[in-house]
Amino acid sequence: MSGILYSVDVESTGVDLKNDRLIQLAFLKIDGESVETFNDFCYTDIEMNDTVTAVHRITNAMLEDKYWPFETDAFAELEKGNLPENYFISHGNTLDLTMLAHEELEIRMQKIDTDKCARLLLKDTDSYKLEDLITRYALTAKARALAKKIGLQDIDAHDALSDALWHYVLFTLLLDRVDGDIGRLVTMTAEPMLLEKISFGRHKGKSFKSVFNSDPLDLVWMYANMTDDWIDLEHTLGYWLRQKPYFWNKARKEKEDAALLKL
């Protein structure tokens, strides 16, 4: 395998892809047998609410004396390695890539989404939460060994460096499942995926097929209002709505109307 691996995680002021911003950038840089860590908190002028801080336990007061994201050592190192021959690894790429793009760092590396690849390669599990995957596939010992190697005292969920370590450990399992062909993981990440179950709202846990059969107008609404930044959802809803031209035409018309309202 050629190229350097960057296993990345960020924390942000929230999950609004348009308005929220980066407050922590952490990653493992894996170059052959060498593993380096980079981890910086970042200043923000966005006031975070209690719900957000309860998740990652980062407060505005903790960031008052920090540098802006683009001024940190972690950002500079990631920017230096942002080359097409290297690999950007994270668990659910969208938030990480978007927060970095807000800081004018468009990732040119080959991208691997361990969440998406896990859903395609690990079918014998009921949960794709990162911590559940680590437990289900007995990766805890490997994670602890790597933590010891890099001097990380405790692996803590929702800490960016800990999550970056977990991303890498999960990546090694996924790479083994494709017999070491890292290009397959890149391809899986890039291609739209047909989702099986809805993960939000009143239909959470139901299959897209069952909702299409019982409440197709709900899928029409999802297509019109929720697919701007979610390629896999757009692909999945399009697949089902095309089964009946009436609903497919209605969904496209409503999406066009919704886009005009945003102008």
Q: Is pLDDT larger for residue 170 or for residue 18?
A: 170
The answer on pLDDT for 1 being more than 80 is no
Residue 181 backbone phi and psi in degrees, to 5: -85, 90
pLDDT at 170: 98
Nearest to 94 by CA among 234, 224, 238: 234
Q: Taking the mean position of all CA atoms in its chain, how far away is CA 194?
A: 17
> Residue 94 and residue 99: Cα distance in Å, rounded?
9
Per-residue DSSP letters for 54-103? HHH---HHHHTTSPPGGGSHHHHHHHHT--TTSEEEESSHHHHHHHHHHT
> Residue 255 and residue 8: Cα distance in Å, rounded?
33
pLDDT at 261: 83
pTM: 0.89
pLDDT at 165: 96
Residue 162 backbone phi and psi in degrees, to 5: -60, -45
Q: Is pLDDT larger for residue 218 or for residue 16?
A: 218
The answer on pLDDT for 260 being more than 70 is yes
Residue with tokens 């981890």: 39
The average pLDDT across 81-105 equals 95
> Residue 205 and residue 190: Cα distance in Å, rounded?
25
Q: Is pLDDT larger for residue 117 or for residue 158?
A: 117
Q: What CATH number does the domain located at 5-190 have?
A: 3.30.420.10
Per-residue DSSP letters for 160-221? HHHHHHHHHHHHHHHHHHTTT-HHHHHHHHHS-----B--SGGGTTSBHHHHHHH-HHHHHH
pLDDT at 157: 66
The average pLDDT across 178-203 equals 94
Average pLDDT, the chain: 93
Query: Crossing angle, helix 114-121 and helix 160-177, to 10 degrees?
Result: 40
pLDDT at 73: 97
Residues 6+ apart with CB under 8 A from 16: none
DSSP code for 47: P
Beta-sheet strand order (sheet of 110-113): 34-41, 22-31, 5-12, 87-90, 110-113
- In DSSP terms, 131 is beta-bridged to none
The average pLDDT across 54-63 equals 89
pLDDT tens digits, 148-177 = 999 988 887 668 999 999 999 999 999 999
The answer on pLDDT for 263 being more than 90 is no
pLDDT tens digits, 118-133 = 999 998 998 888 999 9
| CATH 3.30.420.10 domain residues, the chain | 5-190
Burial track 124-135 (b if 16+ CB lie within 10 A, e otherwise): eeeebebeebbe
